[in-house]
Chains A and B, each alone.
Chain A
Amino acid sequence: MGGGVNPPVVTLVEPEDPDIGDPVGAERMFTAECDQQATLTVYLDDDPDPVYQSDPGVQEVSYTFESAPLGQHMVRVVAANENGTGENYWNWNVYQYADCHVLSGPYLDFFIRHYRCGSSGCAGGSGFWSNAVCLENAVMRYARAGKSTPYTNVLAGCYWMEKIGCSEHCYVELVFNLDIYIVAVMNSSLVPSFGHAVCAQYLGGEMDMFSNWRFFQYDNLNITPGDWQMPYGSEWQETRVEIKEVIDIPNCGQYDGRPVATFLIDHEGNVR
């Protein structure tokens, strides 16, 4: 028999403030400690299944959430040992920035910084976000504006986010079935060596007529020779613009293409 019971007490270590906020998509590590050895378990909201459980006999736990859905969350740490249980928690507000672009129409006219995989059927992404560069941005634009339906099984499991703090979008939440191609723009003689991916919309007519294509990427919906995204060639090498028909999309950031037209831009901006 004994005098009384000394249950474990959990203290928040990092962040120390119990009320915190992060933009949607931001990673957050939580660290808590216990005043006695215990099993430490981390829960998110009302989910009875823990996101993490330590071995018995520890006094500190850290867990990093890749992100959480928009809204108010509770990250709760429970300590349990033979003396009883104790808990502590953070109120975690996951918010969205106000300056995120609003989608309308087939074209994405802004730089998209992040992508990741996730559930199929546009049911939501999972895992850490990866940085998106021109190739992924081109695939995203093709997926939305182009004839991407044959690749829905892959694309409906791909997600993008304009930047940390903006909401997540499925690559094919809307598909516009336009005649979109992916274009490689290359010139190894430029310093630094230039390689870029953009999209092109076929406007009709002869495919080997440069004027029958409209090139677009990032915030520019009509890229023309001389733009930073399609620089003139040098005296030693012309800039090569190779337009490819998409024949496969193996994952969220890659495509296989078959060339349908190639143009060369010399150092004075002439196209042939």
Chain B
Amino acid sequence: MSKIYVLASLPGAGKTTTALLLERHFLGQDLRVACLQQNKGQSDVHTYLSAGCCHYTVPLEATKSREAFERWAPRGYDVLIMEVTYPYTPFGAPYLIPFDAFNEVVPFEARADWKSFVFTKTLGYWKEYPSDTNFDPTELWDTVHDRTVQTIVTKIPSPLDGPCVDTGRVLHHPEGFVCDTVEPRMTLPKSDRAVIAVGAFPGEYREIFPNLTWYRFDYASFLQEFRTGTYDVAIIGMCLNERLKFRDRPERSSIICYQPSVYCDLEKHPKNLPLKDNFGSILSAIHEQAVGEPIASDGGAYSSYNNRFWTYRPHPEREMIWREKNVVFCNGWVLPQYLIREGFLEAA
């Protein structure tokens, strides 16, 4: 069994900072700790990778039930810390529902009326999107809060009696965090192949390939090795710069490319698609539909999740995975477990 600490909040509240501080706290107790995130692409992953954390992405399909979650929870850790963004949307709330308790990270400035803060922020996010529905950004508030909720105040000038993180990024009263217990069942294969990687990529690769050299965002050094080095697999991770192009495409090694635009000119998913579904109906679809069945209306804001992995697909005209010679292109944050399952990645 592993303890799982779930931290949820809006972006910018200090979740990742809190998660990293909590991780250090437990590591200091000689516990084995892994950090988990919902599948939200490259966001914040580099922060965990840079900090040397054991990092895992939890796909949306893992939220269908507690048993499903346990199939995607990594074995071998005493403590799991899972960060959940936008907990009141249909792509955040499912990550909280399997658990009896979670920690709500609330910045000091918003602690007085957190619900109004969530309402205003979420409405602000969606205001640019034409909506076909009577949109209520806190529609899932009660569903999410129907469990033990511990508030973690962040960015606080001076410590409180309860769990909090001060402006000096010091964690106070970690014993006050609430947790649940799970029975992790996921074991990843191990390979001794030499791997080089750049950008943000799923942290699972570091467990699968212990002999992995990550060049962070030092693309210049990576490309020198990429052109002439000796390695078995190269992982071209994601970054935010869509102008990035690679001119080199070595043919002697396997390449897994999470940013297809470095080699191809691709259309991005159109922004500001109308919100055609209310949050509750998408949440129900996630729980009731088989994985891969549509969970949002076509042409709507969340239609890019309508694929066999329920993973955001940035380039709608392309498959989720396609191969060109020795390059496997991933159209989104496609986990290596999926690549292995579908024969695109050899991990032996």
Shortest Cβ distance from residue A42 to the other chain B in the assembled complex, whole angstroms? 12
Q: A1-25: which residues lie under 8 A (CB-CB) from chain B?
A: 1-9, 11, 18
Q: Inside 8 A of B220's CB, which chain A residues have their CB? A: 78-80, 85-87
Is there a chain B Cβ closer than 8 Å to A250's Cβ? no
Q: Are B16 and A1 in contact (CB under 8 A)?
A: yes
Check A35 for interface membership: any CB of B closer than 8 A. Answer: yes
In the complex, what residues of A have CB within 8 A of residue B245's CB?
9
Residues of A close to B41: CB separation below 8 A: 4
Contacts of B42 in A (CB 8 A): 3-4
Answer yes or no: A259 CB below 8 A from chain B CBs. no
Knowing A4-B238, A6-B241 are in contact, say whether A84-B43 is a contact too (CB < 8 A): no
Tell me whether A83 is interfacial, beta carbon within 8 Å. yes
Among candidates B43, B218, B239, B243, residue contacting A35 with C-beta atoms closer than 8 Å: B243
Identity of the chain B residue whose Cβ is nearest the Cβ of A77 in the assembled complex:
B220
One of A4, A78, A88, A89 near B239 (C-beta < 8 A): A4
* A84 proximity list for chain B (CB < 8 A): 216-219, 239
A88 to B239, CA, bound (A): 17
A4 contacts across to B, CB distance below 8 A: 41-43, 46, 200, 238-240
Best-buried of A2, A5, A80 by chain B (most CB within 10 Å)? A5
Partner of B240, one of A3, A79, A80, A87: A3
Q: Max chain A CB contacts within 10 Å: which of B11, B47, B220, B240?
A: B220
- B42, B243, B245, most chain A CB atoms within 10 A: B243
**Cα–Cα, bound, A18→B247 (Å):** 10
- Complex Cα distance, B22 from A217, in Å, reads 85
Q: Which residues of B contact A5 (CB under 8 A)?
A: 46, 199-200, 217, 239-240
Residues of B within 8 A of A3 (CB): 11, 42-44, 240
Report B283 CB to chain A, min CB distance, Å.
Answer: 24
CB closest residue in chain B, given A36: B241
The docked-state distance in angstroms from the alpha carbon of A80 to that of B245 is 16
B 329-348 to A, binary, CB cutoff 8 A, 1 in contact else 0 = 00000000000000000000
- B116 lies within 8 A of chain A by Cβ: no
Asked whether, in the complex, the Cβ of A85 is within 8 Å of the Cβ of B219, the reply is yes
| Distance between Cα atoms of A83 and B217 in the complex (Å) | 7
Task: Fill in one digit per residue for A59-83: 1 if any B CB lies within 8 Å of its CB, else 0.
Answer: 0000000000000000000111001
Of A1, A18, A79, which one neighbours B47 at CB under 8 angstroms? A1
Interchain CB contact (< 8 A) of B219 among A1, A2, A18, A87: A87
B241 touches A85 (CB 8 A): no
Quote the shortest CB–CB distance from A131 to chain B (angstroms).
38
Q: Is B223 an interface residue (CB 8 A)?
A: yes
**Which A residues lie at the B interface, using CB under 8 A?**
1-9, 11, 18, 35, 78-80, 83-89
6 shortest interchain CB distances as A-B pairs: A84-B217, A85-B220, A87-B220, A1-B16, A6-B240, A4-B240
Q: Besides the contacts A2-B47, A3-B11, what 13 more A-B pairs have beta carbons closer than 8 Å?
A: A2-B44, A3-B43, A4-B239, A6-B240, A6-B241, A7-B199, A7-B217, A8-B241, A35-B241, A79-B220, A84-B218, A84-B219, A86-B220
Chosen A-B contacts, 7 in total, with CB atoms closer than 8 Å, are A1-B47, A4-B42, A4-B46, A4-B238, A84-B218, A85-B218, A87-B219
